[in-house]
A and B are shown apart, each in its own frame.
Chain A
Amino acid sequence: MRASRSLIAAVLPAWRGLALSLAVLVATASPRMQTPPDIAVVVNATVPVDGLTIAELRRILLGDREFWTPGARVTLLVRAPIARERDAAIKTVCQMTEAQFRQHWIGKVFRADTATGPKIVYSAEMALDQVSRVPGAIAFIEGPVTSKNVKVLKIDGKSPGQAGYALR
């Protein structure tokens, strides 16, 4: 009995230390485990739409829709591979892998459906800058959208940050 008490007395501090360490680990890790910010679909302010359905957005991403209205051509801006905005757009909207998306666009140009693929942008800042300057431009932006001359589209009737927003 005495032996078991001494064993508990010896082990208890170790358990307390382990529990404290775990608490610290959880506390420091929790910010990283927060859900990443929603990805906003941003267009030039002159674009004559305020919202799109996921299906409409998919048609734009896949090049099946090239005009907002007659005369107002869509200019699709997509982040370079690896960027989270690109991954989310390809996986969530197109339901494709990176390789499938690339093959789709090579085939699209090859079939003479369109002369060029999406334009690459290398940062959110570059994307916002181009969207603000190019009429008809559309891009995917993670984080706050502060530029002038752009607007954020609703997707399936929801804005970024709202519950049920599709692009995360």
Chain B
Amino acid sequence: MRRVFGGDLLRLAVLLTALATPSRVTAQQHDMDQPPPDQRQYPSLKISGFGDIGYSATHLPEGAKGFSLGQLALHMASELSARVTFFGEISFSARSDAGTGAPPATGFNAEVERLILRFDHSDQLKVSFGRYHTPINYWNTAFHHGQWLQTTIARPEMIQFGGRLLPVHFVGALVEGAVPAGGWNLNYKGGVGNGRASVISRAGDPGDVNGDRAWLANAFSKPDRLYGLEFGASVYGDTITLASSRQFSEQIVSAHVVWQKEDPEIIAEFANVRHDEIDNPSVMWSHAYYIQGAYRLPQLNRKWKPYLRFEHVGVNESDAVYQGVLNLDGITTGVRYDASSFAAVKGEYRNWIRGNDTDRNYGGFFQVAFTF
């Protein structure tokens, strides 16, 4: 009996040890569980994902209250040959109108966020087709649905999910590449696509709403001499056709400067949007910017990272394209704690004014975010 009990203890100890030390195995499995390169097979589908759960409490009612499920984003990448690659991303988002209407709305929205087929010729030339995160905003492409990837809980207002200030998604074709350029490491992207749908927060997934394609150009540098620095600029042009059939010419210029190391981490972005109604010349400008700083504390195993962000959105009130989009001035401060290599806990305080002649609002927010 005693021997059996001892054996159970041994098994329990082995089990606990196995449970307590999964991180290294998991780490290898997450990004590198692949056959040896000389045994590569195609297609090589790999699925990963991101998820988050939040809690919020605000002074004035705005947005979700209490606990809320964030997006569950599934990301797929598959090499179809040595030079052809498929990328896909599907998100599931909780609906606030679940169960209402006829037929009743489902509990979650499923959305094809990205679907890209890319042909790689070289570092200097890659051509792709599909649905992208519009590469005219650093945050939009660097983090997007990966809440775990971003330091803060909330995205900047200028590029919120479902936001209308900047086009979040882009359906079309992209040419991209990078050249060393004497250590400046210049990267470029050029694209043509459908642009915004008549509901301007949507991309033109089923087709363009008018005969004018959207276009974009983006360039950024990551100089060797200042390793960690990235800076760049973008331009975007489109013709918007609203549901009312009013048409507007849209031009966006944007710029970003990022210090990518974590001691400190600095991200600053600016975007200026010009709308000009066709057949009724009246130019309207709107703009938005934010600056965010964070610092990975060297103590306590480098798990803590406090941060601070200022942001501003200034919308031209007479711009019919941005009807319902409100001005905003806000400050966000918080701290991120990396509980493991793949999970983070974040807590933050926000203070903001949305719209003119409104009361200042503030609130506390909490999030657990992870990748798998």
- Taking Cβ atoms with an 8 Å cutoff, the residues of A that contact B are 53, 55-56, 58-59, 64-67, 69-71, 73, 75, 77-78, 80-82, 95, 97, 99-100, 102-103, 105-107, 109-112, 114-120, 126, 130, 133-134, 137
Contacts and interface: CB of A to CB of B under 8 A. Distances in A.
A106 B48 contact: yes
Interface residues of B, number: 51
Query: Chain B CB within 10 Å — which of A71, A102, A112, A114 has the most?
Result: A112
Nearest to B83: A73
B44 A115 contact: yes
Contacts of A134: 37-38
Nearest to B82: A73
B24 A133 contact: no
Main secondary structure on A side of the interface with B: mixed
A110 B37 contact: no
Contact of A82 (B24, B114, B180, B338): B24
Contact of B30 (A55, A100, A106, A137): A106
A118 B32 contact: yes
Contact of A112 (B30, B87, B149, B222): B87
Contacts of A120: 28, 32-34
A119 B37 CA distance: 7
Contacts, number: 111
Interface string B63-96: 0000000000001011100110111000000000
Interface of B: 24, 27-28, 30-34, 36-38, 44, 46, 48, 50, 75, 77-79, 82-83, 85-87, 114, 116, 118, 120-125, 141-143, 146, 149, 178, 180, 183, 185, 222, 224, 227, 261-262, 302, 338, 341, 371
Contacts of A64: 178, 185, 222
Given A102-B341, A109-B31, A137-B37, 11 more contacts: A58-B227, A65-B123, A69-B122, A82-B24, A99-B302, A106-B48, A109-B46, A110-B75, A112-B114, A112-B116, A115-B79
Contacts of A118: 31-32
Contact of A71 (B122, B143, B224, B338): B122
A66 B123 contact: yes
A56 B183 CA distance: 9
Given A65-B123, A81-B27, A106-B31, A99 B48 contact: no
8 contacts: A53-B224, A64-B222, A73-B82, A97-B302, A106-B31, A118-B31, A120-B28, A134-B37
Contacts of B24: 80-82
A117 B79 CA distance: 12
B31 A117 contact: yes
Contacts of B185: 59, 64
A55 B224 contact: yes
Contacts of A133: 38
Contacts of A65: 123, 178
Nearest to A53: B224
Contacts of A53: 224
The 8 closest A-B pairs by CB, nearest first: A70-B122, A55-B224, A112-B87, A117-B31, A120-B32, A115-B77, A115-B85, A134-B37
A164 B77 CA distance: 41
Nearest to B123: A67
A129 to B, nearest CB: 9
Nearest to B228: A95
B356 to A, nearest CB: 37
Nearest to B33: A120
Contacts of B46: 109, 115-116
Nearest to A94: B227
A111 B118 CA distance: 13
Nearest to A55: B224
Contact of A107 (B44, B116, B146, B338): B146
A29 B79 CA distance: 51
Given A70-B121, A75-B37, A106-B149, A55 B183 contact: yes
B149 A103 contact: yes
Contacts of A82: 24
Nearest to A82: B24
B358 to A, nearest CB: 36
A107 B118 CA distance: 18
